[in-house]
């Protein structure tokens, strides 16, 4: 969630550091800072609040140093403050570092260092690392870093500079992303690709327990034990235009409108003569599995709920979707006959990555569904499928969610084909037309803007649905909460009478989804129960039957029920978006949230 930048080259470091931090604002943060190595001194500027505060402070300095590090912090240890901001320096101001992740044993290490006479300026776990570096330094910064890495437990991406060795940057990684770019006249480092793109598309991906020593003209890679290793340079396909708003007011609205294109891209080459083509998985023998797990967090979990239901229906295998943060602590019963599927937009979600590693330890087959080429989860898994959402800048996920749904449905049909199960070929044909249907729904944007007005003055909203529609309303409620700060709950419609209906009163707004024919009439009956208690209802459905007393009904295209989760996501996203706009919320950067959740 924190952001890292670093520069070592032949020009001033500050421009890269600042533009990179700007590109990483979507990750969520509460403070920012930089350290520049200049005239053999470390000059550190940092402050609480938005990046613009830091820009104002650095404008009072004359920076021309060509080595530097930068950071945007999302608080885990210690409140947002100037002192808790990164970078952190040792007391002699000879070593400075930035850190993403969590040092789990920092208290023991801090107490040990205090006993040795060290004093601490912050409440962070990260400061322990720079003080340990000071303790272990004996003429070789790389060697001192290796000693520190043996002592610390937890996750980290580290960038370290020092006046003691002023020509280099030391970087190291474990369970937190770090990417090194190579440009014509510099090496640049960041925690995510968008921060590098204005300078280079040629990158090295560091794996866990790897480190690098960077100078202006050279780079060397090592294991944490000091063994020299080789890394391949990869060219990433993104460009800076993908991170611009293209005339839209916000990134979130732009990304909502990009969904026809990115869905089309995710489908491209995947369907031929009614057959699903997923050659990445051709070496898997699906007959060996007796159980399947989907593991994810947040929006990706809601996509997984849908994917799990579809896969179970058409294969008749036991399939369970579970939250990653619970999976690893519930001692899941998995073995070499278990297929585990891990879904993450960023490919860096800490809980999902930890769950994946647990599954591998238990000999389960692992598949990653990710959006970021070379991300940690995609590298760790046995097999990987990529969505084609492109860079998603807004914190609240939209296009990444729908492309996950598309790919998970493709995966379900692919597994069914490999197992020679009965296939709904009409649904496969309709899947190819989904981008067109999404375009049609987007043309009704003004309708969803009107629905948003119904929520303007409310503190609570209620979402209901059954079967696949329940996964859809969970995501709809999450979107509304994330960007508008309205308390929104999603319920299985049939459970209303078992408690939640007590919350319904005159003027309550209920958003209902009823797209599954075998259960739609039941959901509509539940809707009538809320109307009888004074609720105003917004209904998304495909059924024209038994609709009474509901003023706000939106009819979705008549496609397979299996595909309706993709379509209904669009109006639910737009309702959340316009509600947030009406309330004056920061739609792209909701409070307290981060794009890539790289801590547990």
- Residue closest to 201 by CA, chosen among 173, 160, 233, 162: 233
Angle 74-80-84 (CA atoms, 0-180°, nearest 5)? 90
Which tokens sit at 488?
């929104």
Distances (CA, A) of 358 to 71, 104, 174, 324: 31, 19, 16, 11
The residue assigned the tokens 């790897």 is: 210
Q: What is the DSSP string of 310-359?
A: HHHHHH---EEEEEHHHHTTS-----TTEEEEEEESSS--HHHHHHHHHH
Which tokens sit at 76?
């885990």
Is residue 52 annotated as part of the catalytic site, yes or no?
Answer: no
Catalytic position from the list 110, 168, 173, 595? 595
Catalytic position from the list 2, 8, 159, 585? 2
**Which 3 state secondary structure label does DSSP give 536?**
strand
Q: Which residues fall within 8 angstroms of residue 458, CB to CB, at 6 or more apart?
A: 486, 507, 509
Count of alpha carbons within 13 angstroms of residue 356, beta-carbon side: 28
Please answer whether residues 84 and 15 qualify as being in contact, where contact means their C-beta atoms are separated by less than 8 angstroms: no
The shares of helix, strand and coil residues in the chain, as percent rounded to the nearest 5, are 40, 25, 40
Give the burial class of 422: count Cβ atoms within 10 A of its Cβ; 0-12 exposed, 13-18 middle, 19 or more buried: exposed
DSSP 398: S
Angle 274-275-279 (CA atoms, 0-180°, nearest 5)? 155
Q: Which residues fall within 8 angstroms of residue 164, CB to CB, at 6 or more apart?
A: 94, 95, 137, 141
Distances (CA, A) of 463 to 253, 508, 537: 22, 11, 10
- Residue closest to 480 by CA, chosen among 501, 452, 502, 505: 452
Q: What is the DSSP string of 93-119?
A: S-EEEEEES-BTTHHHHHHHHHHTT--
- Residue closest to 42 by CA, chosen among 167, 163, 207: 163
Please answer whether residues 516 and 541 qualify as being in contact, where contact means their C-beta atoms are separated by less than 8 angstroms: no
Is residue 585 annotated as part of the catalytic site, yes or no?
Answer: no
Please answer whether residues 567 and 467 qualify as being in contact, where contact means their C-beta atoms are separated by less than 8 angstroms: no
State the catalytic residues.
2, 595
């Amino acid at each position: 969630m924190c952001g890292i930048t670093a520069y070592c080259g032949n020009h001033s470091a500050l421009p890269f550091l600042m533009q990179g931090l700007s590109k990483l604002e979507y990750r969520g943060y509460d403070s920012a800072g930089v350290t520049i190595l200049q005239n053999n001194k470390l000059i550190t500027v940092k402050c609480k609040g938005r990046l613009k505060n830091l820009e104002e402070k650095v404008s009072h300095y004359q920076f021309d140093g060509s080595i530097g590090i930068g950071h945007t912090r999302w608080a885990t240890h210690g409140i947002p403050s100037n002192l808790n901001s990164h970078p952190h320096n040792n007391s002699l101001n000879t070593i400075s570092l930035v850190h993403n992740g969590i040092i789990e044993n920092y208290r023991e290490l801090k107490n040990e260092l205090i006993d040795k006479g060290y004093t601490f300026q912050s409440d962070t776990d990260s400061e322990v690392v720079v003080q340990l570096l000071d303790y272990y330094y004996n003429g070789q910064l790389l060697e001192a870093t290796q000693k520190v890495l043996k002592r610390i437990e937890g996750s980290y991406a580290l960038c370290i500079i020092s006046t003691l060795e002023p020509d280099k940057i030391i970087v190291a990684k474990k369970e937190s992303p770090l990417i090194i770019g190579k440009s014509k006249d510099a090496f640049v480092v960041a925690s995510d690709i968008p921060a590098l793109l204005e300078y280079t598309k040629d990158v090295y991906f560091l794996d866990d327990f790897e480190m690098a020593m960077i100078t202006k003209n050279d780079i060397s890679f090592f294991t944490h034990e000091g063994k020299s290793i080789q890394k391949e340079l990869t060219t990433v396909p993104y460009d800076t235009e993908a991170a611009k708003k293209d005339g839209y007011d916000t990134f979130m609205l732009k990304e909502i409108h990009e969904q026809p294109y990115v869905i089309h891209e995710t489908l491209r080459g995947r369907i031929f003569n009614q057959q699903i083509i997923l050659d990445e998985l051709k070496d898997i023998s699906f007959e060996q599995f007796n159980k399947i797990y989907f593991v994810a967090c947040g929006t990706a979990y809601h996509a997984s709920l849908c994917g799990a239901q579809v896969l179970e229906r058409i294969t008749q295998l036991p399939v369970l979707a579970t939250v990653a943060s619970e999976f690893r602590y519930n001692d899941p019963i998995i073995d070499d006959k278990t297929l585990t599927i891990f879904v993450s937009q960023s490919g860096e979600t800490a809980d999902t990555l930890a769950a994946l590693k647990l599954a591998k330890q238990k000999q389960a087959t692992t598949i990653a569904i990710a959006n970021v080429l070379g991300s940690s989860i995609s590298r760790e898994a046995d097999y990987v499928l990529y969505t084609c959402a492109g860079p998603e800048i807004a914190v609240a996920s939209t296009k990444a969610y729908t492309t996950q749904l598309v790919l998970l449905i493709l995966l379900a049909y692919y597994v069914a084909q490999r197992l020679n199960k009965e296939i709904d070929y009409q649904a496969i044909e309709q899947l190819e037309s989904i981008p067109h249907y999404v375009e049609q729904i987007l043309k009704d944007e003004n309708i969803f803007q009107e629905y948003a007005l119904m929520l303007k003055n409310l503190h609570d909203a209620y979402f209901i649905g059954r079967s696949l529609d329940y996964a859809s309303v969970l995501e709809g409620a999450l979107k509304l909460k994330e960007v508008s700060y309205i308390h929104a709950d999603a319920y299985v419609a049939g459970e209303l009478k078992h408690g939640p209906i007590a919350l319904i009163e005159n003027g309550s707004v209920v958003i209902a989804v009823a797209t599954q024919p075998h259960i739609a009439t039941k959901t509509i009956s539940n809707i009538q129960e809320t109307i009888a208690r004074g609720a105003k209802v917004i209904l998304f459905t495909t059924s024209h039957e038994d609709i009474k007393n509901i003023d706000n009904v939106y009819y979705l295209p008549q496609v397979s029920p299996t595909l309706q989760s993709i379509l209904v996501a669009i109006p639910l996203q737009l309702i959340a978006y316009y509600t947030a706009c009406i309330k004056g919320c920061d739609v792209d950067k909701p409070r307290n949230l981060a794009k890539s959740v790289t801590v547990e």
